[in-house]
Structure 1
């Protein structure tokens, strides 16, 4: 377990170093990822999907609106809802983050083979799925 924690801390430190001033918090990144992967969401739906209190998600959305990374629109379908969508700047920020994570991954995994990388990926998916079933975290693909 100590190795997993050490690896996680190393990844966080390397990503933070690489992203520098443009770094966004984990919840900010989760909102951008969800909007990028799944499209527009109402604030409450986004909070439910992220399993995060609506007030926290709302605060993050307001911060992302202030940085022009997302846009909010009011729609009247089955009632009035504010729907949040990714802007071009938000998509660019998401792409930059993915590039940063790929660069960190390449550095960290440089000493292992392609097959070992695939095996590590599979094993980590199993660990995350087990944690999710135990109610501690979400399964990630």
Structure 2
């Protein structure tokens, strides 16, 4: 947990620690919000991938969600039991089982998006609309830099 009284006195190091702590805290809050609906982040990732990209095979969904295939297959089975996705067999260059989003799945995803938006609104209630836009812009820049592994490896401490 982040404790503003501990750690380095270097503002750059404090910022990195604070970003990491904030990320963990928000991730926990999001997981709790979607958990109320009997869902997990992977369930939501699969639904979102299907909503954004259309029907996909199991292996493709594992690639899109960056999750192990066994976990994705388990989640797809659970989503099928809930009526949120449907699987069908297609024969294009071989036999493939393709998963599609159902109307109930679209509605469940929309409800989760609403839940996460209300969490975002609560977390950012103390900052202005302009500050929210600036925060979003800055976090995107930090994220982009953080995902450039080659650039970070060459930076000396």
Bin the TM-score by the shorter chain: 0.7 to 0.9
**Aligned mates of 2:78, 2:101 — CA distance in 1:** 13
Q: CA RMSD in A?
A: 1.9
| Higher RCO structure (Cα 8 Å, ≥6 apart) | 1
- Alignment gaps of 5+ in structure 1: 136-141
Q: TM-score, normalised by structure 2?
A: 0.77
Per-residue deviation, 1:8: 2.4
Q: TM-score, normalised by structure 1?
A: 0.85
For structure 2, list consecutive stretches of 5 or more residues without a partner in the other structure: 1-15, 151-157
**Number of the residue aligned with 2:115:** 100
Moved more, 29-38 or 126-135: 126-135
1:38–1:21 Cα change, 3 Å: same
The structural deviation recorded for 1:111 is: 1.2
Deviations 1:66-88 (A, max 9, x none): 11111101011111110001111
- Between Structure 1 and Structure 2, how many residues are aligned? 135
Matching residue within 60, 71, 77 for 1:56: 71
